[in-house]
């Protein structure tokens, strides 16, 4: 391709009549004979004469390319203009370094090129700083080629641009420059040149294939093109293509960073004159972390070198790094080793460079063999940006950011145990790419790994649980109805305690942010936060819904008037949401809840929610019911009837159970599709003063009355009841105390309560005759 | 042609998607949305920290369709997304002038 263009330009040159010295030169990929199907063709007409004549002559060069539809980058410049531009503009400078003579006066082309290279050496520091900065910026945008799922082959960090940037830096320090120039000044090791050449060839092959496949000019290797590109370059499939590419880009990236570090760093000192100690056997020499020659390479020293490098934000010395590559990782870790590892993980963004260095020499896989499987592992998923290994590191970095943040989310993250949170982040996707559910497989792998790391049993339990459940919050928040108490109760049961909840919430935020912008919208953030809040209320106070203590106080205050009367009082109102609210105040006595709920049921009031509280000071109980007036009977007369019936039920004059039984039989929901499962959960630990019982059951007429009757029959008091109904299911939570006002803990009694509830709620909902 | 737009509770999205697929709807567009209706925002408190939630997270669904299918789609979304509680969302229908398929250039109902 480059040859063909050369021929065309030379043919045109034969016909051009231009006075004075002139030359047609190639720049950019054309100069390097690296033209891809979608490349621009950069051509410059250098001339020593008048601009207008040159401009006219230039057009005869450009026309054949314009006619052929080639995208041509063209310019007409005098040598002086070309050099002045190079002095101002990085791209113009690098173009000059690669300049190649095509036609005309070869001497002129050579002269401009050598003056350009001399200028590069004169501006050494500025040029290298600019190239280094541009190279670093490519890690943020478009991002690291090795770890992006849809990388930019040209501009991505570790891509073609980095390969070229190294060659250009070479010209800033030596002549001949390029990669050998960097070797000459000790910025590259001699072996690096062959690696860079192979990388350059590989990247070019992929870029050419990409342009062929897409027929376009984009250098982004989108997922939809990866199969076709793999076929063109002869990789077995898209995953193989991406792994190979990742390997190449990691080498380029690592060599590049190393070279720029050495170029930027102070001249290498002798005998450690400016060395300071960082840790036992570890020092900082010339800005690099060094493991002293007499210190052995062990798991301990390797981890401490890594932690020192991460915390000092300094690269690990290359000779030290080479030694670390031989570390024997099969030994069990000590407490200090784990602490050093956690220090690495807590170092934020700096940990990425350190782990990449360790990975480059194979030390990371020796320390953590489980890592081998996720290295450069692509993920076929529309949300993810990074390969699995980089995603895991990004998640750790996001955790660090969260731990440093002033927000409430930060407070929650800081409540979690630091080492467990960071280890969970580091390991949460460790099961990816293996057969089976990655959360399950990952939990097994994490368990084995953490045992080798010697983590305490409690810690292993928490981290393994977090790995297994790392999608629980995100999935529940986005796919379940958070207004449904059953969702919250199930979630709370799955989490178990606030330690796990705090950790999992922080992990969810970090994991989502590390995944990609599409995975953490503000909508999802709000839902996750809401779920966390609900779960937290459940696990802290043992209640579903609003915070218990505050709610209880507010309700009692609101009805202070009713309570002050000291006798039975009933109040009705219509709520904002259209439901009826019936508030009953009465002297507290056994069976009060069962009686009120039962009489309400008889009057056709469908209970959708209820809360009952006892005011221990006055000995009064307050019960608030919300629901629907099913038969429209609750007008003024109906309300008076209710009060009369309630009095007679409390006096024992009304055969309440008999009438309820008839009613339940009559109005039972006959729909066979209704979920009739009943579950009763007894939790003696949820509250300090009472035993908490949760009942989840189909919402049937008289359900609350039936449950309350069980408590009355078994001689337990209900100090708080929270009832809520969604669709066809009800979730009822009761705080129980025994006859002496103490918390019932006798396992036999609790077992009896549970069994009685299950028995009555599953045997056709018929209450037994009063005993 | 019409565009049916629905604002629904996020957790109902899978159900609605499945229901629409089941009746042969070929494609739909979704986006995260936030807003308030009668549900309003609310304040939540946990462990001392107070959050004000001004806007409630929802999902917005858009379906392009021929006029004859509008009623069926609207009813399906309403039935599937309903929980009977406040905040279930809304569905509305707007007329569409023209539709083009980018890949082939097809226009009108062919592009649906």
Is the pLDDT at B2 greater than 80, yes or no? yes
Average pLDDT, chain B: 85
Chain B residues with CB under 8 Å of a chain A CB are 9-12, 14, 32-34, 44-47, 49, 51, 53, 56-59, 83-87
How much is the pLDDT for A49? 79
Mean pLDDT of A169-187: 93
In a domain, residue A342? The reply is yes
Q: Which CATH number does the domain housing residue A100 bear? A: 3.30.460.10
Residue among B14, B32, B83 minimizing CB distance to A479? B14
Distance from CA of A259 to the nearest CA of B (A): 45
Query: Between chains, do A522 and B33 touch, taking CB under 8 Å as contact?
Result: no
A526 touches chain B (CB under 8 A): yes
pLDDT in tens, A70-96: 888 899 999 999 999 999 999 999 999
List CB contacts (< 8 A) between B12 and chain A.
481
Please give, rounded to a whole number of angstroms, the shortest distance from the CA of A408 to a CA of chain B: 7
Please state, in angstroms and rounded to a whole number, the distance separating the CA atoms of residues A150 and A378.
Answer: 10
Tokens 């692509």 sit on residue: A378
Task: Indicate if A336 and A423 belong to the same structural domain.
Answer: no
Contact yes or no for B46 and A482 at CB 8 A: no
Report the residue of chain A nearest B51, measured CA to CA: A408
Q: Is pLDDT at A267 greater than 90 in this prediction?
A: no
Q: Please provide the DSSP assignment of A63-132 as one string.
A: HHHHHTT--EEEEEE-HHHHHHHHHH-HHHHHHHHH-EEEEE-HHHHHHHHHHHHHHHHHTHHHHHHHHH
Contacting residues of B for A483, CB less than 8 Å apart? 83, 85, 87
Top pLDDT among A762 and A711 is at A711
**Residue B49 in contact with residue A540, Cβ under 8 Å?**
no
| Residues of chain A positioned with their CB less than 8 A from the CB of B11 | 478-482
Q: Is residue A137 part of a domain?
A: no
The residue count of chain B comes to 112
B47 closest CB neighbour out of A481, A521, A536 = A536
Residues A493-543: tens digit of each pLDDT: 899 889 999 999 999 999 999 998 777 877 788 889 889 988 887 887 666
User: Per-residue pLDDT for A726 more than 70?
Assistant: no
* Chain A residues inside the 8 Å CB shell of B33: 523
Contact call for A529 and B83, based on CB within 8 A? no
Using omega within 30 degrees of 0 as the cis cutoff, is the peptide bond preceding A620 cis?
no
Least confident interval from A2-16, A188-202, A235-249, A479-493: A479-493
| Distant-in-sequence, close-in-space partners of A57: CB < 8 Å, separation ≥ 6 | A16, A17, A18, A22, A45, A47
Would an 8 Å CB–CB cutoff place A520 in contact with chain B? Answer: no
Residues A557 and A592 occupy one common structural domain: yes
Q: Mutate which of A405, A483, A551 to test chain B, going by most B C-beta atoms within 10 A?
A: A483
Minimum distance, in Å, between the CA of residue B97 and any CA atom of chain A:
31
A524/B32 CB distance under 8 A: yes
Residues in B touching A533 (Cβ below 8 Å): 44, 46, 51
Number of helices and strands in chain A (H, E): 34, 15
Closest partner residue to A521 (CB to CB) among B9, B12, B32 is B32
Q: Measured between CA atoms, how close is B99 to chain A, in angstroms?
A: 25
Instruction: Please answer whether residues A31 and A94 qualify as being in contact, where contact means their C-beta atoms are separated by less than 8 angstroms.
Output: no
Backbone angles phi, psi at A57, to 5 degrees: -65, -40
What is the percent of chain A with per-residue pLDDT over 90, rounded to a whole number?
A: 51
Q: What is the end-to-end Cα distance of chain B in Å, rounded?
A: 9
Average pLDDT over residues A131-139: 93
pLDDT digits (tens, 9 = 90+) for A282-310: 999 888 899 999 999 999 999 999 999 99
B101 Cβ neighbours under 8 A, 6+ residues apart: B107, B110, B111
Closest residue on chain A to B39 (Cα) = A577
Burial class (CB in 10 A: 0-12, 13-18, 19+), A496: exposed
Where does the pLDDT of residue A253 fall: very low under 50, low under 70, confident under 90, or very high at 90 and above?
Answer: very high
Q: Which helix (H) or strand (E) holds A500?
A: helix A498-515
The answer to whether A99 and A109 are in contact (CB under 8 A) is yes
- Tell me whether residues B44 and A726 touch, CB distance under 8 A: no
Over residues B18-52, the pLDDT tens digits come to 999 998 888 899 998 888 776 555 555 555 455 55
A272 in contact with B, Cβ within 8 Å: no
d(CA A347, CA A312): 9
Q: How many residues does chain A have?
A: 771
- At A771 the pLDDT is 38
Looking at the complex, report in whole angstroms how far the Cα of residue B43 sits from the nearest Cα belonging to chain A: 11
**Same structural domain for residues A707 and A628?**
yes
pLDDT tens figures, A199-216: 999 999 999 999 999 887
User: Do B57 and A411 count as a contact with CB atoms less than 8 A apart?
Assistant: no
Q: Do A547 and B57 touch (CB under 8 A)?
A: no
CA atoms of A489 and A53, how far apart (whole Å)? 84
Tell me whether residues B58 and A547 touch, CB distance under 8 A.
no
Per-residue pLDDT tens over the stretch A26-76: 998 899 988 888 888 899 999 987 778 888 888 888 888 888 888 888 999
Mean pLDDT of chain A: 88
Same domain, yes or no: A404 and A344: no
Residue A698: CA atoms inside 13 Å, Cβ hemisphere, count?
Answer: 18
The whole-number pLDDT of residue A767 equals 46
What is the CATH architecture of B2-111? 2-Layer Sandwich (3.30)
d(CA A324, CA A454): 22
Instruction: Please state the domain extents for chain B.
Output: 2-111
**Pick among A481, A492, A554, A628 to test the B interface (most B CBs inside 10 A):** A481
Name the domain boundary from A367, A398, A426. Answer: A367
Helix, strand or coil for residue A332?
coil
Taking the C-alpha atoms of residue A716 and residue A728, their distance in angstroms, rounded to an integer, is: 28
Query: Which pLDDT does position A547 carry in this prediction?
Result: 54
Give the nearest partner residue to B49 out of A408, A527, A537, using CB atoms.
A408
- Chain-chain contact of B9 with A481 (C-beta, under 8 angstroms): yes
Please count the residue pairs, one from chain A and one from chain B, whose beta carbons lie less than 8 angstroms apart. 56
pLDDT at A354: 94
For residue A551, the model assigns a pLDDT of 66
pLDDT one-digit tens code per residue, A560-573 = 888 887 888 999 98
pLDDT at A460: 97
* Chain B residue closest in CA terms to A479: B11
Are A522 and B57 in contact (CB < 8 Å)? Answer: yes
**Which structure tokens are listed for A407?**
């927000």
Tens-digit pLDDT profile for residues A100-111: 999 999 999 999
List, for residues B67-80, the tens digit of each pLDDT value.
999 999 999 999 99
Backbone angles phi and psi of A735, in degrees to 5: -100, 120
* Cα–chain center distance at A338: 23
> Is 80 exceeded by the pLDDT of residue B10?
yes
Residues A519 and A392 in one domain: yes
My answer on whether A397 and A448 are in the same domain is yes
Interface check for A406 against chain B (CB to CB < 8 A): the answer is: no
DSSP helix/strand/coil, A273: coil
**Domain annotation covers residue A381:** no
A522 touches chain B (CB under 8 A): yes
Mean pLDDT of A649-670: 82
Whether A578 and A597 share a structural domain: yes
- Chain B residues lying within 8 Å of A529, measured CB to CB: 51
Nearest CA in chain B to A530: B44
Q: Cβ contacts (< 8 Å) between A522 and chain B: which residues?
A: 32, 34, 57
Q: Provide the percentage of residues in chain A whose pLDDT is more than 70.
A: 95
CA angle A579, A585, A586 (to 5 degrees): 140
Other Cβ atoms within 10 Å of A60 Cβ, number:
14
* Neighboring chain B residues of A540 at a CB cutoff of 8 Å: 47
The answer to whether ipTM exceeds 0.85 is no
Higher pLDDT, A265 or A151: A151
For residue A628, the cross-strand partners are: A606
A234: tokens are 């002869």
Which is more confidently placed, A578 or A162? A162
Residue range A120-131: mean pLDDT, rounded: 93
Q: Which tops the pLDDT comparison, A130 or A630?
A: A130
Could you tell me the CA-to-CA distances from A715 to A390, A585, A740 in Å, in that order? 60, 21, 10
Cβ neighbours of B85 in A, within 8 Å? 483, 726
Pick from A437, A419, A511: nearest CA to A474: A511
State the pLDDT at residue B44. 53
Predicted local distance difference test score (pLDDT) of residue B47:
52
- On whether both A63 and A192 belong to a single domain, the answer is no
Residues A650 and A760 sit within 8 Å (Cβ to Cβ): no
Residue A434 is given by DSSP the state S
Helix (H, G, I), strand (E, B) or coil at A333: coil
- A481:B11 CB<8 A: yes
CA distance A460 to B42: 39
Answer whether 0.80 is exceeded by the pTM. Answer: no
In what side-by-side order are the strands of the sheet with B2-8? B29-35, B56-65, B2-8, B89-95
Q: A681: which 2 tokens?
A: 């959960």
For chain B, say whether A491 makes contact (Cβ under 8 Å): no
User: Cα separation of A111 and A106, whole Å?
Assistant: 9
The answer on A554 and A469 residing in a single domain is no
Pick from A523, A540, A577: CB nearest B10: A523
Beta-bridge partner residues of B89: B8
Produce one character per residue of A306-321: b if its CB has 16 or more CB atoms within 10 Å, e if not: bbbbbbbebbbbbebb
CB contact under 8 A, A530 and B44: yes
A475 touches chain B (CB under 8 A): no
Q: Which of A266-275, A364-373, A653-662 has the highest mean pLDDT?
A: A364-373
Same domain as A326, residue A466: no
User: Is A640 in the same domain as A707?
Assistant: yes
Instruction: Pick from A471-480, A481-490, A560-569 the range whose average pLDDT is largest.
Output: A471-480
Residue range(s) defining the domain that contains residue A443: 388-540
Chain B residues with CB-CB distance to A530 below 8 A? 44, 53
Which has more pLDDT, A549 or A59? Answer: A59
Q: Collect all residues of chain B within an 8 Å Cβ-Cβ radius of residue A478.
A: 10-11
Asked whether residue A594 falls in the same domain as residue A625, the answer is yes
User: How many domains, chain A?
Assistant: 5
A335-345 vs A299-312: helix crossing angle, rounded to 10: 30
């Amino acid at each position: 391709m480059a040859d063909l263009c050369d021929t065309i330009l030379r043919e045109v040159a034969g016909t051009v009549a231009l006075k004075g010295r002139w030359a047609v030169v190639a720049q950019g990929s054309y100069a390097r004979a690296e033209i891809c199907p979608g490349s621009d063709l950069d051509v410059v007409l250098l001339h020593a004469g008048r601009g207008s004549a040159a401009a006219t002559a230039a057009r005869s060069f450009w026309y054949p390319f314009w006619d052929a539809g080639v995208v041509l980058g063209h310019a007409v410049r005098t040598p002086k203009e070309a050099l002045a531009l190079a002095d101002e503009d990085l791209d113009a400078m690098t173009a000059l370094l690669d300049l190649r003579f095509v036609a005309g006066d070869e001497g002129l082309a050579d002269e401009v090129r050598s003056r350009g290279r001399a200028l590069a050496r004169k501006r050494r520091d500025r040029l290298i700083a600019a190239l280094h900065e541009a190279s670093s910026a490519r890690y943020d945008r478009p991002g690291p080629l090795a770890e992006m799922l849809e990388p930019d082959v040209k501009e991505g960090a570790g891509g073609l641009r980095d390969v070229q940037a190294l060659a250009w830096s070479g010209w800033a320090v030596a002549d001949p420059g390029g990669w050998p120039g960097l070797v000459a000044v000790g910025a590259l090791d001699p072996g690096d040149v062959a690696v860079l050449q192979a990388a350059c060839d590989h990247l070019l092959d992929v870029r050419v294939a990409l342009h062929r496949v897409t027929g376009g000019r984009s250098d982004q290797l989108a997922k939809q093109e990866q199969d076709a590109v793999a076929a063109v370059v002869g990789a077995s499939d898209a995953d193989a293509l991406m792994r190979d590419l990742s390997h190449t880009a990691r080498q380029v990236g690592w060599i590049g960073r190393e070279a720029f570090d050495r170029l930027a760093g102070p001249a290498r000192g002798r005998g450690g004159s400016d060395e300071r100690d960082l840790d036992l056997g570890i020092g900082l020499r010339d800005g690099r972390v060094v493991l002293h020659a007499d210190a052995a390479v062990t798991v301990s020293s390797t981890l401490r070198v890594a932690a020192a490098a991460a915390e000092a934000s300094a690269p690990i010395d290359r000779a030290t790094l080479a030694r670390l590559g031989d570390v024997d990782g099969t030994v069990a870790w000590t407490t200090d080793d784990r602490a050093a590892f956690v220090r690495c993980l807590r170092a934020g963004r700096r940990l990425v460079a350190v782990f990449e260095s360790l990975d480059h020499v194979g030390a990371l896989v020796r320390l953590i063999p489980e890592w081998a499987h996720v290295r450069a592992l692509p993920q076929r998923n529309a949300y993810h940006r990074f390969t699995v290994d980089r995603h895991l590191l990004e998640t750790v970095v996001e955790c660090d950011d969260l731990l440093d943040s002033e927000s409430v989310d930060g407070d929650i993250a800081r409540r979690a145990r630091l080492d467990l949170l960071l280890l969970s982040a580091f390991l949460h996707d460790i099961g990816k790419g293996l057969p089976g559910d990655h959360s399950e497989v990952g939990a097994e792998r994490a368990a084995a790994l953490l045992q080798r790391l010697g983590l305490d049993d409690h810690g292993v339990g928490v981290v393994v649980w977090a790995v297994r459940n790392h999608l629980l919050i995100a999935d529940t928040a986005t796919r379940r109805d958070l207004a449904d108490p059953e969702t919250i109760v199930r979630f709370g049961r799955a989490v178990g305690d606030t330690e796990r909840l705090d950790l999992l919430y922080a992990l969810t935020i970090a994991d989502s942010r590390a995944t990609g912008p599409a995975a953490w919208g503000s909508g999802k953030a709000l839902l996750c936060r809401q779920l966390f809040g609900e779960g937290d209320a459940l696990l802290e106070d043992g209640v579903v819904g609003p915070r218990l203590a505050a709610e209880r106080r507010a309700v009692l205050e609101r009805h202070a008037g009713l309570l002050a009367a000291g006798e039975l009082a009933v109040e009705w109102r219509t709520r904002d949401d259209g439901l009826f609210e019936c508030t009953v105040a009465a002297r507290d006595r056994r069976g009060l809840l069962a009686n009120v709920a039962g009489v309400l049921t008889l009057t056709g009031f469908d209970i959708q929610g209820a809360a009952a509280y006892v005011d221990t000071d006055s000995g009064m109980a307050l019960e608030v019911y919300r629901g629907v007036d099913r038969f429209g009977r609750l007008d003024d007369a109906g309300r008076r009837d209710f009060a009369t019936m309630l009095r007679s039920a409390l006096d024992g004059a009304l055969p309440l159970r008999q009438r309820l039984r008839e009613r339940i039989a009559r109005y039972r929901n006959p729909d066979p599709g209704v979920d009739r499962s009943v579950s009763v959960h007894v939790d003696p630990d949820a509250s300090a003063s009472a035993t908490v019982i949760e009942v989840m059951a189909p919402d049937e007429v008289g359900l609350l009355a039936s449950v309350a009757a069980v408590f009355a029959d078994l001689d337990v008091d209900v100090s708080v009841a929270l009832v809520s109904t969604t669709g066809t299911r009800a979730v009822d939570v009761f705080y129980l105390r025994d006859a002496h006002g103490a918390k019932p803990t006798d396992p036999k009694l609790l077992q009896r309560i549970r069994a009685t509830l299950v028995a009555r709620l599953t045997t056709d909902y018929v209450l037994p005759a009063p005993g | 042609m019409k565009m049916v737009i629905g604002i629904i509770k996020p957790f109902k999205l899978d159900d609605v998607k499945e229901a629409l697929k089941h009746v042969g709807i070929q494609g739909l567009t979704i986006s995260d949305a936030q807003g308030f209706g009668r549900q309003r925002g609310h304040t939540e408190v946990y462990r001392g920290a107070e959050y004000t939630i001004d806007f409630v997270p929802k999902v917005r669904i858009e379906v392009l369709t021929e006029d004859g299918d509008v009623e069926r789609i609207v009813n399906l979304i309403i039935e599937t997304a309903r929980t009977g509680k406040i905040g279930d969302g809304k569905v509305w229908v707007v007329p569409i002038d023209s539709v083009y398929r980018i890949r082939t250039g097809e226009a009108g109902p062919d592009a649906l």
